[in-house]
Amino acid sequence: MSYTALYRKFRPLRFEEIVGQEHITRTLKNQIIAGRVGHAYLFNGGRGTGKTSAAKVLARAVNCLNPQDGEPCNECEICKAALAGSLTDIVEMDAASNNSVEDIRLIREEVNFLPTLAKYRVYIIDEVHMLSTGAFNALLKTLEEPPAHVKFILATTEPQKLPATILSRCQRFDFKKISNEDIVRRLEYVAKESKIEITKEALNLIAVLSEGAMRDALSILERCLQDGETNIEEDKIKDLVGIPKLTYINNIVKAFLEYNVDEAIKAVDIVLKEGKDLNNLLWEIIKYVKDILVYKATNKLEIYSKDEIEEIKRLSEETTKERLLYIITDLSKLENDMKWSSQKSILFQVEIIKLCSQNIVETHVENVDKGEKKRTETVDKSKTSGNKALNNEENKTQAKTANFSQAISEYDEAKGWKNILNDLRQNGKIMLYSNLLKAKPIELNDMVIGISFPEGINAFGKSILEKPENITELSRVVSMEYGKDMKVRIIDNVDSLPKKSEKQENKLEQMAENLDIPLNIIE
């Protein structure tokens, strides 16, 4: 019997087996139960998130002779033929290699014929964004008004490349990245069924490395089995993918923080002599320093063991936030420079010497501190010599805030300000979310809600909030929470705090986005 890859062997056969896409599978099942299956679907999402699996299940479900709660039975004649790949009424097409007008014309001719065995003829077109312009045009009319016995299921990772005319003719379903928790649970099931002994730490590492793709996670697990061993630990996975052990990373970062160039070079040489990839090493160092920074700001970390967290705690106590930011900034710049260099090792060694040179680092931090001090003194002077009109305006604003203090409290409890923040975070509006953490809502009237900042807000944060697209998004979320159309007004309760230069603001914003951490941690 021929060997079958894990991702094929454990491909979902029912909607309930598709991991992390309950919002989609629930809708599809309800459509099948109600007999309201559409004529054209577009499944969009990253690689390995279940698009093709969902398409196969849907194709069987609409043709199944004995469907059960919207699920295919996988036992009837139709289901067995589909699973065996012998059912001619379910056509799978790879648009990457079949992207010409002639390929689509063939489909247009075939749709006029009735299914041979099943109820519907289903066309599954994968990587549909690879079709040529002519092929899209040839598909338009058929996709808009196909015969009653034809269903189309399109799948893509890049929906922005599809013409609007195609998008408008399909029911679109967006497949999200699968959470690490869901991936771990599925891997535990696969390991149990395959009689594989694997540690919890190893499962967590595979989930992190897969980046939300279930197929990638199964592929990594399969690579760990190639030597015939069924006992898998975290170190085995790291060796397999070229990730240095955490002990080595810790030693390198420790040497940076202690300005010990000899130890830093020695630790790096040990890693490289083991054949580890230089880019992976750099990525691991940046990630580790970022985790130290996050712990220093929040006193919270996940994934790491108790002993590892204790070491991170010790390192965070021995350094400053500015020092950590300096290391992250320089290493991130180095990562970009190495992409275009043929002498990566030389660049890396020079960077090690730079990070371990105390006079260079201290000069950098000192210049930053001087700049902040100067800006603070300027602002303080400006406040002292401020005009009476400005003070009066400030008093009015503070009085308004005081008058609405009860409304703020009531809204917090009754209307769910936390729900609004959670909605922004879940929708990926991290910059908007992080700058609203210290805000308070004020009901100015029945149609307007004010966003107040009792502790003040800096110019950069205010500029983020006042962007038209952010105001629109915030108004949308607030309106959903209230159940009616609401407008949003940003209220600055105090004088502007020391302003950052435009260059600094852009740098901080870019750093927060690249590191996937809230901006307030950096500020």
| CATH number of the domain where residue 215 is located | 1.10.8.60
Give the pLDDT score at 400: 43
pLDDT, position 362: 54
Number of structural domains the chain divides into: 4
Q: Please indicate, yes or no, if residue 368 is contained in any of the structural domains.
A: no
Distance CA 398, CA 451 (A): 13
Q: Is 328 in contact with 286 (CB distance < 8 Å)?
A: yes
| Structure letter (DSSP) for residue 212 | T
Tokens 């299921």 found at:
153
Amino acid code (one letter) for 232: I
Residues 6+ apart with CB under 8 A from 321: 293, 296, 297
Shared-domain flag, residues 335 and 406: no
Of the candidate ranges 215-224, 252-261, 452-461, the one whose mean pLDDT is the lowest: 452-461
pLDDT of 444: 63
Q: What would the pLDDT profile of 112-150 be if each residue is shown by its tens digit? A: 889 989 999 999 999 999 999 889 988 888 888 889 999
Task: Indicate whether 433 and 305 sit together in one domain.
Answer: no
pLDDT at 397 exceeding the cut of 50:
no
Chosen domain end from 119, 142, 175: 175
Per-residue pLDDT tens over the stretch 487-502: 888 876 544 334 444 5
Q: pLDDT higher for 317 or 242?
A: 317
From the list 4, 5, 2, the residue with the least C-alpha distance to 215 is 5
> Where residue 461 sits, what CATH number does that domain have?
3.30.300.180
The DSSP string of 182-204 is: HHHHHHHHHHHHTT-EE-HHHHH
| pLDDT exceeds 90 at position 156 | yes
Q: Are residues 202 and 334 in the same domain?
A: no
Same domain, 171 and 30: yes
Which among 175, 208, 229 is the end of a domain? 175
Q: Given 190, 222, 241, which residue is the final one in a domain?
A: 241
| pLDDT reading at 299 higher than 90 | no
3-state secondary structure of 450: strand
From residue 474, give the alpha-carbon distance in Å to each of 429, 470, 477, 513, 519.
10, 6, 5, 19, 18
DSSP one-letter string for 286-322? HHHHHHHHHHHHHS---SS-HHHHHHHHHHHHTS-HH
The answer to whether residues 256 and 330 belong to one domain is yes
> Residue 41's pLDDT is what?
95
Same domain assignment for residues 288 and 215: no
Does residue 398 sit within a domain? yes
Which residues, in sequence order, are bridge partners of residue 150? Answer: 121
Q: 425, exposed or middle or buried, with CB in 10 Å at 0-12, 13-18, 19+?
A: middle
The alpha carbons of the chain give a radius of gyration, in whole angstroms, of: 29
For residue 53, the model assigns a pLDDT of 93
Strand partners, 151: 122
Pairwise CA distance, residues 303 & 214, whole Å? 19
Q: What residue numbers bound the domain in which 327 lies?
A: 246-359
Average pLDDT (30-59) is: 92
The mean predicted confidence, pLDDT, of the chain is 80
- Supply the DSSP symbol for 94: E
- Cβ 432 vs Cβ 471: under 8 Å: no
Backbone angles phi, psi at 123, to 5 degrees: -110, 120
What tokens were used for 377?
């003194």
Distance separating alpha carbons of residues 203 and 184, to the nearest angstrom: 6
Residue 214 resides in a domain: yes
| 149 shares a domain with 41 | yes
367: in domain = no
Range name among 347-356, 437-446, 505-514 with the lowest pLDDT average: 505-514
Work out the pLDDT band at 401, boundaries 50, 70, 90: very low
Q: Is residue 235 left, alpha or beta, with left meaning phi > 0 and alpha meaning psi from -120 to 50?
A: alpha
| pLDDT for 272 | 80
| 127 and 19 share one domain | yes
Residues 74 and 146 in one domain: yes
CB atoms within 10 A of CB 258: 15
DSSP β-ladder status, 121-126 and 150-156: parallel
d(CA 433, CA 423): 9
Question: Residue 517: what pLDDT?
Answer: 56
| Same domain assignment for residues 48 and 156 | yes
Of the given ranges (66-70, 148-152, 437-441), which has the lowest mean pLDDT?
A: 437-441
Which position has the higher pLDDT, 29 or 270? 29
Residue 275 lies inside a defined structural domain of this protein: yes
Asked if pLDDT for residue 367 goes beyond 80, the answer is no
Q: What is the CATH number of the domain that holds 350?
A: 1.20.272.10
Lowest pLDDT segment from 92-96, 279-283, 487-491, 515-519: 515-519
Query: Mean of the pLDDT values across residues 448-471?
Result: 78
Identity of the residue numbered 200: K
CA distance 153 to 163: 16
Q: Does 481 reside within a domain? A: yes
pLDDT beyond 70 at 64: yes
User: Phi-psi region for residue 15, left (φ > 0), alpha (ψ -120 to 50) or beta?
Assistant: alpha
**CATH code of the domain in which 87 resides:** 3.40.50.300
Residue 171 sits in the same domain as residue 218: no
Length of the chain: 523
Residue pLDDT, tens place only, 270-282: 888 877 778 888 8
Mark whether 159 and 31 lie in a shared domain.
Answer: yes
Look at 13-17, 29-33, 494-498 and tell me which has the smallest mean pLDDT. Answer: 494-498
Cα 124 to chain centroid distance, Å, stands at 27
Tell whether 212 is covered by a domain: yes
Would you say residue 522 lies in a domain?
Answer: no
**Nearest Cα to Cα of residue 443 among 406, 388, 396:** 406
Q: Are 373 and 497 in contact (CB under 8 A)?
A: no
- 374: tokens are 């100067």
